[in-house]
Amino acid sequence: MKILVTGGAGFIGSNFIHYILAKYPDYQVVNFDKLTYAGNLDNLSEVAADPRYSFVRGDIADINQVKEVMAQGIEAVVNFAAETHVDRSIHLGAKEFVITNVWGVQNLLDAVREFKVSKMVQISTDEVYGSLQLGDNKYFTEDTPFQPNVPYAAAKAGGDLLCRAAWKTFALPVVVSHCSNNYGPYQFPEKLIPFFIMRASRGEKLPLYGDGQNVRDWLYVQDHCSAIDLMLQRGRPGEVYNIGGHNEMSNLNIAKIILQELKQPEELITFVADRPGHDRRYAIDASKIERELGWRPKYQFAEAIKETVRWYLNNQAWVDKLQTRQSEINQHLK
């Protein structure tokens, strides 16, 4: 099978490419990535020389570029390409989020239809569902109505609804996932866990929004990759699958775990003004994908978070390079 992985130089996309090439000796992967600030080909240096892997620089918001790469005999598409950082969607504006997360998805759907691609998997987020109350026993299911509270989530919801419409209108073979918060190797340092790991490793303050009690369901990236693989192989077209790690934890507890692992004092935690539209709790009911596709998370949080901390500490050159790049971008945006 020849798979087009859009956004393959990002965090989850690059992990998925590693996963697929390791599991399927006869698969080919085309990585199609715009290489924005979060796209990093260093994530794929270990497979760069593999004849089954190729890279094409391109933007899913450009239909001509999408069609050009699709004409290479693509049989399936997994779309990771997205603007994802919530704070950027709030403070820098939502335009790029709408262009990539909505218009870009429509371009992929149009190309999948034109080139008669056998399956498209749209990677989305539990943030489209909005927020749950702390302390209750409710969970997001595939039937939970969309109630996005920040521009990023609203743009992702728009792309997801276009996928639904493409299935209903054209019977397009598209499957949508809504996953909980991922963690693991190759995650851009602006995200919570790597951000805290790197600051704690230097003895710097860990800033927590609000009271730090916002709860997320944490999913190790390798577990996410295995779920996407199952959706690609056996997911029913037109269906939505929620993917969760069964690891609800507050941001405050995450900070404490990382400090403990790095033998740093909890006094490094500092509370800052909450961000606008900050969802209180996410919790995924993953029983559908477990029941229909036989997926189960393999990694326990207690061990996987230790492995994640070790990975960032052992890959300091990778981190430094990205942080230098991020600093240059931030200076340009001022």
d(CA 225, CA 29): 15
220 flagged as catalytic: no
The catalytically annotated residue of 127, 217, 229, 285 is 127
Q: In what order do the strands lie in the sheet with 215-220?
A: 181-183, 215-220, 248-250
The catalytically annotated residue of 33, 83, 110, 126 is 126
The catalytically annotated residue of 53, 129, 152, 220 is 152
Max Cα–Cα distance, the chain, nearest Å = 57
126 flagged as catalytic: yes
Pairing between β-strand 53-57 and β-strand 28-33 as defined by DSSP bridges: parallel
Helix, strand, coil share (%) of the chain residues, nearest 5? 45, 20, 35
Q: What is the Rg, in whole angstroms, of the alpha carbon atoms belonging to the chain?
A: 19
152 flagged as catalytic: yes
Please check whether residue 212 is in contact with residue 259, taking contact to mean a CB–CB distance below 8 angstroms: no
Please check whether residue 38 is in contact with residue 15, taking contact to mean a CB–CB distance below 8 angstroms: no
| Active site members | 126-127, 152
